[in-house]
Chain A
Amino acid sequence: MKIVVCIKQVPATHEVSIDPVTKRLIREGVAAEINPFDRYAVEEAVLLRERLGGEVIVLSMGPPQAMDAVREAIACGADRGVLLSDRSFAGSDTWATSYALSSAVRSLGSVDLVLCGKQAVDGDTAQVGPGIAAHLDWPQVTYVAHLEQAGKDELVLRRMNEDGYDRVRVELPAVLTVVKDLNTPRVPTLRSRIVSLKAQVPVLTPADIGADPRRLGLDGSPTRVVRTQPPPGRSKQSVRLEGPAEESARRIVHELRTMSIV
């Protein structure tokens, strides 16, 4: 089975902070990591390869430093990596990003399965996985929490929703987006890290993947960010209750009654 895992390099969450003056997100000098959900996608791909044979290719789009994320995924078990990095990709929204990634999947040839994390923790959109499926015209299964059966032509999976889950059977090729429950990602060994550092990872441009540059980057993106601002502050002053439990409980329940919550 030929599996492509799409990963994104994101700022490490514990590093996220807001500049008190500009009220913007501080990105400079912030440590980066693989988007947490993507780690489960990498692990599931490696587990599938171990069972069914084949190849796991990790695919990322980003600035040159996203190479670190690709190598990390190789250290976690992927066979090889591809990085899309070129000025013409910069500023892509989810439409253009999913177009670029789907073009790369096509150029890799006879891919059976694309795995993505359910969403990236910086943008939080969850749009790129389904977008890739739409560009490829492949079926998709989102919020995959459990893989029940895997054959070379189809998979049986559980997808989560607000009310429980659906058991579904999907034909391959397909795109899956995965949640945390799926597996426990392995930790790279010293040996696998050395292998990942030596791996040849091609850096590809739109021409290399047969993508139309007019559909990429800011110009190829239907949406524009007009402005960013800090979230509305918590209006109320924090109230601390330190008395006996009954007293605190009465005060809180009174507040909830006033809000017509209980």
Chain B
Amino acid sequence: MHTPTDHDRRQFRNVWVVAEQREGVLKDVTFELLGAARRLARQRRGEVWCVLLGHGVRRMSQACLDRGADAVVLVDDPRLEHFVDDVYATVLHRLVERHRPEIVLCGATARGRALIPRVAVSLTAGLTADCTGLDIEEGTGVLLQTRPAFGGNIMATIKCTDYRPQMATVRPRVMSAMEPQPGRTGRVLVEPFPENASPARLTVLEAVTDARETVHLADAKFIVAGGRGMGGREAFKLLAEFAALVEGAVGASRAAVDAGWVDYAHQVGQTGQTVQPKVYMACGISGQVQHLVGMQSADLIIAINKNPEAPMMKLADYSIVGDVFEVLPAMMKEIRRT
């Protein structure tokens, strides 16, 4: 195996962001990463490039430029209509080989976490998952990537000295997006779909965005979550109503999911999802460690529980001793008041 030399590494320049879009709408994480990329590119004296893959996505190029990209690398092809892991991976691999970015960032979403590891393996690149901090090391210019492990119980800082590009998936809502500058100018590089790519071995038969199934835990700024203390399925309607009012999402503890009160897609914690919202409001959740590891990185934690001794009440920034069915309606009334 050939270990790259300094000379090899100097061939790699610029910071790339792999955009994520669904049904013609760019995900916020793309803008957040463009913001982070600007900062890194300034330190590395390079440019920010945004990779836009899909079908009918060309018109989204300007939005990427408005949010801080100096160039958009566009592959617009019917074969990229749906997310097919290895097809997307092949296209991104070829783009990286051709243009040699120094750093590649992508959202730590279901897609990003499926796509980027494939590309990092095929390129022999270093990859760090679910980063919450990115920095340039003084002197070496190497990317320092900080990420939580063991469910947020420990933070690890990781780097890749030898191989390029340095790749990272980054958690949504951690980096700050730049204010859009409408009409900001930049280049759009239109690249062809690689003709000698092997045929797809996976077919998307149906992409279901059922409103009932829509959970958006990963994107939500505000999560209102219920546990065993909610008492039953009906109580989750109250949480849904609250979530709608604050434009948030409904989360749940494993106990509530296992009781059949709410779908698994809502489960937060070790065997559910790890979330990092601005506000996590835990209603009737005692706070088993398996749940805490999934949400303890929230900016603000509010707990409502009858039992003041519950572990969640000790972790919370605000712990409200009381009945969820009194406190939540009172909060909703207060929010609606203005």
Cβ-closest chain A residue relative to B302? A252
Q: Is A63 an interface residue (CB 8 A)?
A: no
A129 proximity list for chain B (CB < 8 A) = 117
How many A residues have CB within 8 A of the partner chain? 89
**Contact present for A238 and B319 (CB under 8 Å):** yes
B320 proximity list for chain A (CB < 8 A) = 241, 248, 252
B286 proximity list for chain A (CB < 8 A) = none
Q: Is B79 an interface residue (CB 8 A)?
A: no
Q: How far is the CB of B59 from chain A (nearest CB, A)?
A: 21
Q: Is A6 an interface residue (CB 8 A)?
A: no
**Contact present for A226 and B158 (CB under 8 Å):** yes
Which of B38-46, B95-103, B146-154 lies at the binding interface? B146-154
A139-B85 contact given A163-B216, A168-B203, CB 8 Å threshold: yes
A261 and B245 CA atoms in complex are apart in Å by: 11
B121 proximity list for chain A (CB < 8 A) = 95, 98-99, 130-131, 134-135
A180 and B252 CA atoms in complex are apart in Å by: 14
**Contact present for A252 and B331 (CB under 8 Å):** yes
Q: Is A64 an interface residue (CB 8 A)?
A: no
Query: A36, A95, A228, A246: which contacts B156 (Cβ < 8 A)?
Result: A228
Q: Is A199 an interface residue (CB 8 A)?
A: no
Cβ-closest chain A residue relative to B216? A162
**Contact present for A163 and B209 (CB under 8 Å):** yes
Q: Is A190 an interface residue (CB 8 A)?
A: no
A234 and B222 CA atoms in complex are apart in Å by: 18
A139-B202 contact given A228-B154, A234-B317, CB 8 Å threshold: yes
Q: Is B174 an interface residue (CB 8 A)?
A: no
Query: A16, A162, A180, A181: which contacts B218 (Cβ < 8 A)?
Result: A162
Q: Mark B292-316, 1 if CB is under 8 A from A, else 0.
A: 0100110011100000100001111
A98 and B117 CA atoms in complex are apart in Å by: 10
Cβ-closest chain B residue relative to A253? B334
B272 proximity list for chain A (CB < 8 A) = 180
Cβ-closest chain A residue relative to B20? A162
B208 proximity list for chain A (CB < 8 A) = 164-167
Give 4 nearest A-B pairs by CB, closest first. Answer: A222-B126, A249-B330, A134-B121, A245-B326
Which B residues are closer than 8 A to A by beta carbons?
Answer: 1, 22, 82-83, 85-86, 89, 109-111, 113-115, 117-122, 124-130, 144, 148-163, 201-210, 213-219, 221-222, 246, 264-265, 267, 270-272, 274, 278-279, 289-290, 293, 296-297, 300-302, 308, 313-323, 326-327, 330-331, 333-335
Q: A95-B121, A95-B127, A253-B334 are known; give 19 further A-B pairs, CB within 8 A.
A: A13-B151, A25-B150, A127-B117, A129-B117, A133-B85, A141-B202, A143-B110, A143-B114, A162-B219, A223-B128, A224-B158, A225-B157, A228-B149, A238-B314, A242-B322, A249-B331, A250-B334, A252-B331, A261-B278
